[in-house]
Amino acid sequence: MAAALGALKLVGENAKMNVILIASPDEEVGGELGVGYLVNHVGIKCDEAVVLDASPEFVSIGASGVVSGWIKVKGVQGHAGYPHKAVNPIYGMVHLIEGLEGFSNLRATRLSKIDSPPNSPIKKVWGRFTITMVRSGVKSNVIPAEAEACFDMRTLPDENPIHAVEELKVYFTSLIKNLGLNAEIYGINIGSGYYTEPSCDFVLRFRRTVSKIYGREIPIAAELGGNDGKFFANKGIPVVSFGCIGPDTNFHGVDEFVHLKYIALVRDVLLEYISTYP
């Protein structure tokens, strides 16, 4: 926001294009009531979109899809002093999570045609599956009836997320059968990824602007995370992302922050782009 407002203040009446600034707070919970609502229901239209939710190290031409959901293992509740009369679902969940590491490895073999961000361990954007939360039990002396785990699966920008979900279900069904578990997947939410062709004129123009500000050529890649660009892309609007999320800023970690130099950099890029078009 600071970078965008700074650029708009400096450009004043000299912008070479009409600019709409959208400030949306709900990207982390899917974006349907923010940018999604504005694009799909209000009907905001544009020729191109720049999403300021990305790294300053490259021009992002896409983002990963996000699939989240829950896994439930069912047991038999009982007294902790009488474990022989109960079935502890926590042990089953431990074995299930261990088995799902194999699915994580399988997803890592699914590769996009688009490059990963600089310094990534794999050159092309790859599939990822992660267990992010585990919960069970209500009291120390009660063996719980159920154990639950939440998962986050990142699909490729150029992949149909439905296919990834089906792959998960097939793997999961086979795994729980082999482990002898009573388990299910539920609460699946699917957010698609997207990408803009690197040869798109908009991508080329924006990349030239970023490279000019940097004084060197900046690479093109796709985000390992997701962002609200999907709503524009679903309407056929070309999208790039560029922002202040530096590689050392602890994003989604303790003491998340941004560098002032990156705020200034994004401001200068936006100022140059909107004041020199075409």
pLDDT digits (tens, 9 = 90+) for 11-70: 999 999 999 999 998 888 888 999 999 999 999 999 999 999 999 999 999 999 999 999
Position 150 confidence tier, pLDDT thresholds 50, 70, 90: very high
pLDDT for the residue numbered 27: 82
pLDDT for the residue numbered 25: 86
Q: Find the CATH number of the domain harbouring 49.
A: 3.40.630.10
- Residue where one domain finishes, among candidates 191, 206, 240: 191
Average pLDDT, the chain: 96
Q: Which long-range contacts (CB under 8 A, 24 or more apart) does 176-183 make?
A: 176/96, 178/99, 179/92, 179/95, 179/96, 179/99, 181/73, 181/92, 181/95, 181/96, 182/73, 182/74, 182/75, 183/71, 183/72, 183/73, 183/74, 183/92, 183/96
Nearest partner of 260 among 273, 248, 244, 272, judged by Cα: 244
DSSP per position, the chain = -HHHHHHHHHHTT--SS-------S-GGGTSTTTHHHIIIII----S-EEE--S-SSSEEEEE-EEEEEEEEEE-B-EETT-GGGSB-HHHHHHHHHHHHHHHHHHHTT-EEEEEPPTT-SSSEEE-EEEEEEEEE-SSTTEE-SEEEEEEEEEEPTTS-HHHHHHHHHHHHHHHHHHHT--EEEEEEEEE--EE--TT-HHHHHHHHHHHHHHTSPPPEEEESS--THHHHHTTT--EEE--S--TTS-TTSTT----HHHHHHHHHHHHHHHHH--
Position 173 confidence tier, pLDDT thresholds 50, 70, 90: very high
* Cα 9 to chain centroid, rounded: 31
96 and 155 co-located in one domain: yes
177 and 73 co-located in one domain: yes
What value does the mean pLDDT take over residues 91-119? 98
84 and 105 co-located in one domain: yes
Nearest partner of 266 among 60, 65, 27, 36, judged by Cα: 60
What value does the mean pLDDT take over residues 131-137? 98
- Residue where one domain finishes, among candidates 147, 171, 191: 191
- Residue where one domain finishes, among candidates 174, 191, 208: 191
Full-model pTM: 0.92
11 and 99 co-located in one domain: no
pLDDT digits (tens, 9 = 90+) for 56-100: 999 999 999 999 999 999 999 999 999 999 999 999 999 999 999
180 and 216 co-located in one domain: no
54 and 122 co-located in one domain: no
51 and 92 co-located in one domain: no
Number of structural domains, the chain?
Answer: 2
210 and 270 co-located in one domain: yes
pLDDT exceeds cutoff 80 at 171? yes
234 and 169 co-located in one domain: no
Cβ atoms of residues 190 and 154 within 8 Å: no
pLDDT for the residue numbered 129: 98
Q: Find the CATH number of the domain harbouring 158.
A: 3.30.70.360
78 and 167 co-located in one domain: yes
pLDDT for the residue numbered 277: 79
User: Which residues constitute the domain of residue 23?
Assistant: 2-63+193-276
81 and 39 co-located in one domain: no
73 and 28 co-located in one domain: no
What value does the mean pLDDT take over residues 237-257? 94
pLDDT exceeds cutoff 80 at 278? no
